[in-house]
Amino acid sequence: MVALSRENTPFSRLARACRDLEGTTKRNEKTTIIADLLNSLHPAEIAPATLFLSGNAFPESDPRVLEVSYATISEAERNLGQARLTNAQLTVLEVYETLARMAEATGPNSRTRKLNLVQTLLTRSSKDEADFLTRMLLREMRIGVVEGVLLDAISKASGIPRDVVRKANMLHGDIGDLARKAISEGVLGLEKIQLRLFVPIKPMLAEIAADPGEALTEHIDGTAFEYKFDGARIQIHRSGDKIRIFSRRLTDVTESLSDMVEFARTHVNSSEYVIEGEAIAIGEGGRPVPFQDLMRRFRRVHEIEEMSGKIPLRLYLFDALYLEGRTLIDQPYTVRWEILSQLVPTSSLTPRIVTRDRAEAESFLKTALKEGHEGLMAKSLTSNYSPGARGKKWFKIKSADTLDVVIVAADWGSGRRVGWLSNYHLAVRDEDTGEFMIVGKTFKGLTDDEFDTITARLKRLKVRESHYTVHVKPAIVAEVAYSEVQKSPIYKSGFALRFARIARFRDDKLPIDANTLQDLRQRYNRQFETKARLSLGK
């Protein structure tokens, strides 16, 4: 179905849709609101509008960032006073083009240029438009439009089955352009979408298993157990002399990883491929170093060679996704592993065993842990590669329960921690609404240097401050270890983590990658597989 409007849809129409979306918790209603909006747009407007609804200005794989702070928006609003020129309506494309200019404003005086652009938008905005513009700039949209809702809406608007839309989204990396293709080109447009070199695809994800036996029971066709490293997952794309490396968050990290580029150029027996692996930092005695130190390599843009000497990396590969014109993601694990093993030296393959013997798998787990690694991955021998999907085809097996949460606020410390934001409000994401819901607080697990660093980061993310609590934009993902999931009458989520402590910060993950409320509910229920439920009556 092709939209019939011209390229001048008022931004106010999108703002009204956002207000309607915020006003309902019903998934079907949200789907209908979005589908109706998308079908009213010109094809050129569909991509930016879809991204705006998700709270983003650019696709996930797009390196551009707005970097507009709460302070900049507040200053822009103060400068406006009462002057709002709403007679010249903003259009969807004008907003997108202005945001693109903001992202391009870098270097000296960039803040001033961003401030002027924000003021330009707000001057021409109604109250509703300004509200949703500022939420989007701060990535605080919170209207309950998660990726699944958008995919449902794209399916409804285009008439294309949801499974076709979902598969195309896994490969495309740009949900806005996906919506445009679906509505203006139909099912044939989506069926043309394939894995493309230098367009990163979302990594396949895994469920958590309590032990190797759980994976063996689930995988009736056999299981491969691989080391699970405390490293950074990367995708390497090559075609001829061009090599690019992408992180788990689909960010291009090529410039920071010259040693990985050299490996791709000289140690892979092909000149056109996409392979996936884990880069770990190596310390004294060849043992892995903490994840935080590894992230220093990934953030480095200057003095890369010097840092390479201080924090050498070792690459362990575990999958082949594309080879010389052939997409491999629909091939079973065993085929992909065989292809990978012919491409790279055996020493660069992730250590693994294929077994149906639980004792052998548990012994392998103990070895991985003894060598300083996180645990094991358990992969079905018949599993295909499902980008962005989490399921029981792959399990991760760790020695302790951990959860990826998002910091949404922090309290100012007392005593020895005076001057630091050091009691962190930990939240998981509700898949149905997109809301981040608190499941506990902790100040444990950090060094003084880490308290100092995280305080500076949180202050830059401040949205508001009340008494001794600083509320922040949900941007920092932390992995926390905990002993138990408990019911909680205090938190809206209904759950609390017992004895939570921060294990590390996951700079390789976005807030949308954090665990969900639904994950936490499953974990709570799973505890009673080995514990009795205590009934206290009414």
Handedness of CA 283, 286, 291, 297 (dihedral sign): positive
Three-state DSSP state, 262: helix
Residue at 310: amino acid letter:
K
Measured distance CA(245)–CA(49) in Å, rounded: 29
Measured distance CA(506)–CA(390) in Å, rounded: 18
Residue at 400: amino acid letter:
A
228 is catalytic: yes
Cβ count within 10 A of residue 447: 9
- Which residue shows structure tokens 């991985």? 368
60: Cα within 13 Å, side-chain hemisphere: 26
- Tabulate helix, strand, coil % of the chain (nearest 5): 40, 25, 35
Measured distance CA(456)–CA(105) in Å, rounded: 23
Residue at 456: amino acid letter:
A
Three-state DSSP state, 299: helix
Burial class (CB in 10 A: 0-12, 13-18, 19+), 81: exposed
Handedness of CA 226, 381, 383, 431 (dihedral sign): negative
DSSP 29-65: HHHHHHHHHHHTS-HHHHHHHHHHHTT-SS-TT----
Measured distance CA(349)–CA(362) in Å, rounded: 21
Query: Residue 377: which residues within 8 A CB-CB, separation 6 or more?
Result: 206, 225, 226, 227, 228, 318, 394, 395, 396, 397
Residue at 313: amino acid letter:
L
Instruction: State the DSSP code for 177.
Output: H
Structure tokens at 338: 């065989």
Measured distance CA(513)–CA(175) in Å, rounded: 16
Measured distance CA(470)–CA(464) in Å, rounded: 6
534: Cα within 13 Å, side-chain hemisphere: 3
- Pick the catalytic residue from 30, 114, 156, 228: 228
Structure tokens at 122: 């707000």
Measured distance CA(423)–CA(417) in Å, rounded: 9
Measured distance CA(442)–CA(445) in Å, rounded: 9
Are 366 and 358 in contact by the 8 Å Cβ rule? The answer is: no
The catalytic residue positions are: 228
